A and B are shown apart, each in its own frame.
Chain A
């Protein structure tokens, strides 16, 4: 091997195809996530355009169902999850003082599975009979006996996604367990490392269950079994139990890394250590464990026995405790700090405020008898978009603004960052808040057309969505300008090791941008 090889990337396309470098792979993940966000976002725009007024104007109901299904699948599996894996790749080695991830070739493979999986998934839209139209929760038998033929491709794509996630999780666990710098005990790890460590175990636990669910579907469709077919002695409700045993922890797989990012940012811009680190770690672990005991709160109306209803109601309410602890800790971190409000901090504060709104509506839905009125309405749509958009997605934005100067060595344009934040903040609330009202007033979810009394709030929601969607172009402009500055080698806007005033942690001891192999000699931990 040449000496060169150790110090910098190969050039051209092969750099990206064959790379085993954690930063290159992190960049690939993040770039891929952004493409998927725009694709899934375009579908959301189409959905909101159809729902702008009552009546069917733009799309057929069957295509509408394909759009809601694909929007959900793409945003969850194509945008948010890969984005956080991108953060993990970039940050974990730098934050624990390692040169790279523990399993670099596996790392390459985990990423490169994704473009294939999504090409297959998206290509189903062009197949005869159309793409998946049974919702991202793909309840049987709508997704088996009554599904379009393309469902087989959908199943294959989900298998690939699951494989990618499992390999990624193994890599993250191996890295955190084995490559920490000497002296970095578990209880000294940064919060972002902790949240990903726990998330990775959750992934290992539930992705195989998802694979099991789609495999049973495949058997029902092609091999004459009746797992989910009542006519053959099967049980359609079994599908929901299996799916939500995956699906509920999946919610936390999506949100825990965002908790980690926010837990890095709030102390930085409060110039004060994170409050209650130990309780934060325990709360995260508690949330993860309890998340495997609450799945059937998605199924309060399937006709479970009374004891089942009560059990899942109580466990679900209990999850509010560790979640509340986290919120209190973040606010206590801000308390008597010395705060400034740059874009990462703004997105983090909005995260705490708006995620809590999703938490409150979640608590309301935990109350089983009340959930009979909320279930499968726009109230639910409002709830999970509050958790996922100002939750997970704001976490992504906060993280990008926070670490972009480290990754590129260039500070982004703060004025544009503030503009992006405020447009996004207003757009997201305008989109999702009115959905609480129509949901409570009786509008079911997943419908392409609605009764006249829901028209006003739907129009507002659509206007908000268009604002929310178009303001993401500001984000692209910010990114392009930073990358251009970096490529041209302009020194204006260049940042030192510590890009922000209040930062703590190993990644800020490296130059900006950091060397290709992060820590070639382990740093010493005080």
Chain B
């Protein structure tokens, strides 16, 4: 049987069922994010999300029918066969024909569910012939997106400020579901996601695409999507990944093909500008300003904005720490990480300018005041193994 044939079966079977009224209208409107009082799964914006929704509703209604029958018999019995109404107990204790019948019936219902489910599953696993490939890497606690063959790669961090989280400011519209740089993909294009992780397990989920795939260090998993409609689609990490698991949202901006190409061009220009930075020297205030920003997005989640860390888990960075010790060691820890601990190798995550800035910041903030200045070129030399000057 062909893929399309199977899909028709799913649609036909689920058409037999009346959709849940309030939620179905919500879903059919194709709203881009979950609504208050939403009861059901989104219908979504991809062919896969539609068939998954139909399958979900099909099983749901089968369960409802079975439940009505079973509970109906049970509640009838409870109402009628009660001692207070003078019921005399019958003494039968089995009925082989009945027992065989319901075992067979239950098995048949299962086959009716397994058949369309198999078709959908086979389709979900077919990631061939993609037009765009994106490598998605989960980090504690952000996502990295790399457009393969495009020299475009960036991190996507949560953009909800702490003030909103801790109740010091009113919560914005997309509270916890906003990022600094969303993933951008074109509509009407088969996009393949290659999903992996750099530290612990994460899981990349966008409900409107019906794409959820675990990000596992050492493995590269595959998923794909084909978005029908332009819009901003939001999701979250769904595998417990440590302290800020609840704070690593996913935002996908699905644009027209033209807008996508324009966006790609801008990213190329940005990459060129970043390379030019290597040969620039920055003064202390420039480095500190840039360093503070880099620190907030990359380091503060563990070492805290005050550099105080968390005793026993994450070392403090103020006086008498690696941040005031030998510069070479400090560079080494930040660039290569500390194996066997939660300290990641940021050399693979940040550009030379950001690394230089954040190290300078750590050595001069919170009263550390070592006066050390690290320039992008110093970082580059350290990486090449030329040591520190």
Residues of chain A whose beta carbon lies under 8 Å from any beta carbon of chain B:
54-57, 61-62, 65, 127-130, 133-135, 139, 141-142, 145-146, 148-149, 230-231, 234-237, 270-279, 301-303, 306, 309-310, 313-314, 317-318, 320-321, 324-325, 327-328, 331-332, 334-341, 349, 352-353, 356-357, 360, 363-364, 367-370, 372-373, 375-377, 437, 440-442, 444-457
Number of residue pairs spanning A and B whose beta carbons lie under 8 angstroms apart = 309
Q: In the docked arrangement, what's the CA distance between A275 and B74, Å?
A: 14
Q: A134-B240, A271-B89, A278-B94 are in contact. Are A57 and B39 (CB under 8 A)?
A: no
Is the pair A141, B41 in contact by a Cβ cutoff of 8 Å? no
Is the pair B241, A368 in contact by a Cβ cutoff of 8 Å? no
* Residues of chain B in range 253-304 having any CB-CB distance to chain A below 8 Å: none
- A445 to B: closest C-beta gap in Å: 8
Q: Is B5 part of the binding interface, using a Cβ–Cβ cutoff of 8 Å?
A: no
| Closest residue on chain B to residue A322 by CB atoms | B103
Q: In the docked arrangement, what's the CA distance between A348 and B165, Å?
A: 43
- Chain A proximity mask over B296-320: 1 for CB below 8 Å, otherwise 0: 0000000000000011110000000
Is the pair B89, A65 in contact by a Cβ cutoff of 8 Å? no
User: Of B88, B113, B207, which contacts A317 at CB under 8 A?
Assistant: B113
What are 23 A-B contacts defined by CB distance under 8 Å? A55-B164, A55-B166, A65-B242, A130-B312, A231-B218, A236-B217, A274-B93, A302-B214, A321-B107, A328-B70, A334-B77, A337-B89, A338-B81, A339-B87, A341-B82, A364-B59, A364-B63, A368-B117, A373-B41, A375-B212, A449-B247, A455-B36, A457-B37
Is the pair A317, B41 in contact by a Cβ cutoff of 8 Å? no
Is the pair B238, A331 in contact by a Cβ cutoff of 8 Å? no
| Closest residue on chain B to residue A376 by CB atoms | B238
User: Of B38, B73, B167, which contacts A335 at CB under 8 A?
Assistant: B73
| Closest residue on chain A to residue B56 by CB atoms | A370
Most chain B C-beta atoms within 10 Å of own C-beta, residue among A56, A130, A356, A444:
A444
Besides A141-B201, A270-B89, A272-B89, 20 more A-B contacts (Cβ < 8 Å) are A54-B176, A142-B201, A145-B200, A230-B219, A236-B216, A236-B217, A302-B214, A334-B77, A334-B81, A356-B71, A364-B63, A367-B117, A373-B56, A373-B212, A375-B238, A437-B37, A441-B35, A441-B42, A450-B176, A450-B246
A-chain residues with CB within 8 Å of residue B247 when the two chains form the complex: 61, 449
Q: Is B341 part of the binding interface, using a Cβ–Cβ cutoff of 8 Å?
A: yes
Q: In the docked arrangement, what's the CA distance between A141 and B201, Å?
A: 7
Number of interface residues of B (CB under 8 A): 104
Is the pair B106, A320 in contact by a Cβ cutoff of 8 Å? yes
Q: In the docked arrangement, what's the CA distance between A134 and B34, Å?
A: 28
- Chain A proximity mask over B328-342: 1 for CB below 8 Å, otherwise 0: 000000000001111
B-chain residues with CB within 8 Å of residue A303 when the two chains form the complex: 195, 213-214, 216, 219, 221-222
User: Of B39, B140, B177, B245, which contacts A441 at CB under 8 A?
Assistant: B39
User: Of B81, B217, B235, which contacts A141 at CB under 8 A?
Assistant: B217
Q: A145-B341, A236-B218, A373-B210 are in contact. Are A339 and B34 (CB under 8 A)?
A: no
- B47 to A: closest C-beta gap in Å: 12
Of B119-127, B356-364, B371-379, the stretch lying at the interface with chain A is: B119-127
Q: Is B384 part of the binding interface, using a Cβ–Cβ cutoff of 8 Å?
A: no
- A149 to B: closest C-beta gap in Å: 7
Is the pair B210, A372 in contact by a Cβ cutoff of 8 Å? yes
Is the pair B82, A444 in contact by a Cβ cutoff of 8 Å? no
- A146 to B: closest C-beta gap in Å: 5
Is the pair B200, A146 in contact by a Cβ cutoff of 8 Å? yes
| Closest residue on chain B to residue A437 by CB atoms | B39
Q: In the docked arrangement, what's the CA distance between A376 and B202, Å?
A: 11
B-chain residues with CB within 8 Å of residue A276 when the two chains form the complex: 93-95, 99
| Closest residue on chain A to residue B236 by CB atoms | A444
User: Of B93, B199, B201, which contacts A275 at CB under 8 A?
Assistant: B93
Q: In the docked arrangement, what's the CA distance between A135 and B238, Å?
A: 13
Is the pair A237, B121 in contact by a Cβ cutoff of 8 Å? no
- A22 to B: closest C-beta gap in Å: 30
Q: Is B321 part of the binding interface, using a Cβ–Cβ cutoff of 8 Å?
A: no
Is the pair A142, B82 in contact by a Cβ cutoff of 8 Å? no
Is the pair A61, B243 in contact by a Cβ cutoff of 8 Å? yes
Is the pair B35, A453 in contact by a Cβ cutoff of 8 Å? yes
Q: In the docked arrangement, what's the CA distance between A199 and B353, Å?
A: 61
Is the pair B83, A271 in contact by a Cβ cutoff of 8 Å? yes
Is the pair B34, A334 in contact by a Cβ cutoff of 8 Å? no
* Residues of chain B in range 16-39 having any CB-CB distance to chain A below 8 Å: 33-39
Is the pair A272, B246 in contact by a Cβ cutoff of 8 Å? no
| Closest residue on chain A to residue B217 by CB atoms | A230
Q: In the docked arrangement, what's the CA distance between A370 and B53, Å?
A: 8
Most chain B C-beta atoms within 10 Å of own C-beta, residue among A135, A356, A369:
A369
Is the pair B246, A142 in contact by a Cβ cutoff of 8 Å? no
A-chain residues with CB within 8 Å of residue B63 when the two chains form the complex: 360, 363-364
Q: In the docked arrangement, what's the CA distance between A304 and B14, Å?
A: 27
B-chain residues with CB within 8 Å of residue A456 when the two chains form the complex: 36-37
Q: In the docked arrangement, what's the CA distance between A149 and B340, Å?
A: 12
Q: In the docked arrangement, what's the CA distance between A146 and B177, Å?
A: 26
Is the pair A317, B110 in contact by a Cβ cutoff of 8 Å? yes
- Chain A proximity mask over B38-60: 1 for CB below 8 Å, otherwise 0: 11111000000001100110011
- B264 to A: closest C-beta gap in Å: 28
B-chain residues with CB within 8 Å of residue A141 when the two chains form the complex: 199-201, 217
Is the pair B34, A441 in contact by a Cβ cutoff of 8 Å? yes
- A153 to B: closest C-beta gap in Å: 13
Is the pair A356, B217 in contact by a Cβ cutoff of 8 Å? no
- B208 to A: closest C-beta gap in Å: 9
Q: Is B226 part of the binding interface, using a Cβ–Cβ cutoff of 8 Å?
A: no
Q: Is B148 part of the binding interface, using a Cβ–Cβ cutoff of 8 Å?
A: no
A-chain residues with CB within 8 Å of residue B214 when the two chains form the complex: 301-303
Q: In the docked arrangement, what's the CA distance between A139 and B238, Å?
A: 13
A-chain residues with CB within 8 Å of residue B210 when the two chains form the complex: 369, 372-373
Is the pair A324, B102 in contact by a Cβ cutoff of 8 Å? yes
- A447 to B: closest C-beta gap in Å: 3
Is the pair B243, A336 in contact by a Cβ cutoff of 8 Å? no
- A436 to B: closest C-beta gap in Å: 8
| Closest residue on chain A to residue B64 by CB atoms | A360
Q: In the docked arrangement, what's the CA distance between A234 and B37, Å?
A: 44
| Closest residue on chain B to residue A327 by CB atoms | B70
Q: In the docked arrangement, what's the CA distance between A335 and B312, Å?
A: 61
| Closest residue on chain A to residue B86 by CB atoms | A338
User: Of A61, A148, A320, A338, which contacts B312 at CB under 8 A?
Assistant: A148
Q: In the docked arrangement, what's the CA distance between A455 and B339, Å?
A: 40
User: Of B33, B87, B312, B339, which contacts A453 at CB under 8 A?
Assistant: B33
Is the pair B213, A369 in contact by a Cβ cutoff of 8 Å? no
Is the pair A61, B216 in contact by a Cβ cutoff of 8 Å? no
| Closest residue on chain A to residue B38 by CB atoms | A441
Q: Is B84 part of the binding interface, using a Cβ–Cβ cutoff of 8 Å?
A: yes
Q: A135-B240, A325-B99 are in contact. Are A275 and B235 (CB under 8 A)?
A: no
Is the pair A313, B114 in contact by a Cβ cutoff of 8 Å? yes
Is the pair B56, A349 in contact by a Cβ cutoff of 8 Å? no
User: Of A128, A376, A442, which contacts B311 at CB under 8 A?
Assistant: A128
User: Of B118, B140, B165, B235, which contacts A442 at CB under 8 A?
Assistant: B235
User: Of A135, A273, A360, A452, which contacts B67 at CB under 8 A?
Assistant: A360
- A343 to B: closest C-beta gap in Å: 15
Q: A130-B313, A230-B219, A339-B82 are in contact. Are A356 and B52 (CB under 8 A)?
A: no
User: Of A56, A272, A334, which contacts B74 at CB under 8 A?
Assistant: A334
Is the pair A336, B55 in contact by a Cβ cutoff of 8 Å? no
Q: In the docked arrangement, what's the CA distance between A221 and B243, Å?
A: 20
Is the pair A364, B60 in contact by a Cβ cutoff of 8 Å? yes
B-chain residues with CB within 8 Å of residue A127 when the two chains form the complex: 312
Q: Is B133 part of the binding interface, using a Cβ–Cβ cutoff of 8 Å?
A: no
Q: In the docked arrangement, what's the CA distance between A352 and B70, Å?
A: 10
Is the pair B218, A448 in contact by a Cβ cutoff of 8 Å? no
User: Of B37, B84, B93, B177, which contacts A273 at CB under 8 A?
Assistant: B93
| Closest residue on chain A to residue B117 by CB atoms | A367
| Closest residue on chain A to residue B74 by CB atoms | A331
- B59 to A: closest C-beta gap in Å: 5
Q: In the docked arrangement, what's the CA distance between A449 and B246, Å?
A: 7
- A360 to B: closest C-beta gap in Å: 4
